[in-house]
A and B are shown apart, each in its own frame.
Chain A
């Protein structure tokens, strides 16, 4: 589904939303972008990212603009979710609660990376809990890095704000 835009013929960006709702049935604003650059600069930068972050394992064939990290975490890779308000809505209406006791973090819990302004900057799924709560960096996470690839990475080996990382669990 990759599309190289022909700049000589400005065409509307191929972007659409899909029906997506919270558990309570309220709509979630989302956006699929059908655009991907496959030129040399893009490929080189992807390679640099692979080299820069130690211990990461990009998942093959996952480079896509169709969904972002939040679309992977909250919408099963169907679309992208870009607005902080929508993420807050999902956390509330899907019954996510913050895990305060870090010793109880389990595989399948979510990790959210907050910006210095308190907005949710990045999200992922815990695939290996931290070995001890003194150093959460031993946790391993699966997340999608923007329009790049899905990555299996140590909690702190990623290009996002690391000062405020919190864990959440969906409760019934």
Chain B
């Protein structure tokens, strides 16, 4: 018995996994599920990542697949550089359907503040505003 089996609403989550035509549908609908939110808020990012790898190394059943997706979406709701690293690794997992696509969805949503510093090389450009003595700074994160 895992510590989250009582938290997750499998009736709803399992249906979402079956009827999902796209990874975005799965992600959006998991995110709207209250039990998934409770799951995410009940554990730390590190605990959720541990749960993921425990499930990943476990017996691959339909319930296991639902747990894996639950962990991924729950982790994506956390905000830390550990989570960023987790999704970087998730991109290279090749025996879980939509692992890479869910990582892409995460990367499209995150704020740049949680990307580890060494990866961020902002481009700064300045120019003068027309009609004012103001210098405008453009701040672009590649």
Are B60 and A6 in contact, CB atoms less than 8 angstroms apart?
A: yes
A–B complex contacts, Cβ < 8 Å, 12 sampled:
A5-B60, A7-B64, A10-B95, A45-B11, A68-B22, A69-B21, A145-B19, A146-B17, A146-B21, A147-B17, A147-B20, A148-B18
How many chain A residues sit at the interface, stated as a range, is: 35 or more
Are A37 and B65 in contact, CB atoms less than 8 angstroms apart?
A: yes
In the complex, whether A15 has a CB less than 8 A from a CB of chain B is yes
| B128 neighbours in A (Cβ, 8 Å) | none
Are A41 and B14 in contact, CB atoms less than 8 angstroms apart?
A: yes
Tell me the interface secondary structure of chain B in the complex.
helix
Q: How many A-B residue pairs have CB under 8 A?
A: 93
How many chain B residues sit at the interface, stated as a range, is: 20 to 34
Q: Say which residue of B22, B62, B64, B95 sits within 8 Å of A82 (CB atoms).
A: B22
Are A41 and B61 in contact, CB atoms less than 8 angstroms apart?
A: yes
* Nearest neighbor of A147 in chain B, beta-carbon distance: B18
Pick the interface stretch among B23-31, B41-49, B76-84, B132-140: B23-31
* Nearest neighbor of B65 in chain A, beta-carbon distance: A37
Are B97 and A84 in contact, CB atoms less than 8 angstroms apart?
A: no
Are B15 and A48 in contact, CB atoms less than 8 angstroms apart?
A: yes
Are B18 and A13 in contact, CB atoms less than 8 angstroms apart?
A: no
In the complex, whether B122 has a CB less than 8 A from a CB of chain A is no
In the complex, whether B94 has a CB less than 8 A from a CB of chain A is yes
